[in-house]
Amino acid sequence: MNAVQAPSEAPSPAPATSTSGWIARFFWSPQYCARNRGSRAAQCEPVQGFVLRDLIRVVDGKSLEGCTTGAVSLSPEILTQMLQFTKNAPETRASWRIYGRCSGLSEVDYAAYTELVDRRIWWPQAYSPDAADVETTAQDILATVASANHKLPVDALSTHCRRSYLESVDIRFDDRFNYVRSSAPPDGNCKAAIRVRGKP
């Protein structure tokens, strides 16, 4: 299957400001699959590790979401191409509807930048799905991910949890998709101790 088409020569992102950029949100598949038992999404059959779901445009510190203009649905061709790395059709459709059509990009460019981000990030072997839950901390997760990716600073990352379980990791980028340090606490909404769910 061919890779997602490269961005057009003149993509049209939302107007840049001094604080504009992107958040890439990667969900931990074992947690998703445990909460959505019976899901036939590719991220659950077999269970994957971190899977990119959302590419969120951020302007002046606020995510752009819930637009009422633009195409509500991805074309079947673009959806098929994006599923090579998002691994979940319902969630990919929802992400486009909530975030993608607010991004200022065409669906072709949005898919291409999503793939660019996905291919750029290397997930350490420590965060491959295993049979058992693992207890750790937000700081350990962020340090491990940062150390596996060249020039990725720890404070460009944040973790998000549902109760005590890791749900997702955010990575922040500027308009040119360079890593950008976050002014928010690097551990997101997670408490000191985190459980990383094993295979459900």
Tokens of residue 65, six digits? 């979401």
**Domains of the chain, start order:** 21-196 (3.90.730.10)
Signed CA dihedral, 96, 177, 181, 163: sign only: positive
pTM for this entry: 0.88
- The residues pairing with 28 across neighbouring beta strands, listed in sequence order, are 50
Tokens of residue 187, six digits? 């551990």
Distance from the Cα of residue 101 to its chain's centroid: 16
Q: How far apart are CA 4 and CA 114, in angstroms?
A: 9
Task: List, for residues 117-165, the tens digit of each pLDDT value.
Answer: 999 999 998 888 988 899 999 999 999 999 999 999 999 999 999 989 9
Task: List, for residues 2-25, the tens digit of each pLDDT value.
Answer: 455 555 544 555 554 457 899 999
What is the DSSP annotation of 6-30? Answer: PPPSS--PSPP-TT-EEEEEEEEHH
Q: Residue 98 is which amino acid?
A: I
Percent of the chain past pLDDT 70, that is, above it, reads 88
SS3 (DSSP) at 37: coil
